[in-house]
Amino acid sequence: DHETIVRVLRADITKTAEEYKDLGTSDFLTGLMERHEKMAWMLRSHLQG
């Protein structure tokens, strides 16, 4: 489920950026999260339409 992946990635992004100070990995995870958010939106839109 894309929404579950988004929640997990969001937690990992925060931990990676704040606790580990790894902004490169945080940015990579942000890109993944954005793709999953878009896919979840497209699926919801398709199912409603």
Q: For the chain, what are the domain ranges?
A: 2-48
Give dist(CA 49, CA 39) in Å, integer: 15
Whether residue 31 contacts residue 12, with contact meaning beta carbons closer than 8 Å, is answered with no
The answer on pLDDT for 48 being more than 90 is yes
Locate the DSSP E strands across 3-48: none
**Residue 10 confidence (pLDDT):** 98
Say what the pTM is.
Answer: 0.90
What mean pLDDT value characterizes the chain?
98
The answer on pLDDT for 13 being more than 90 is yes
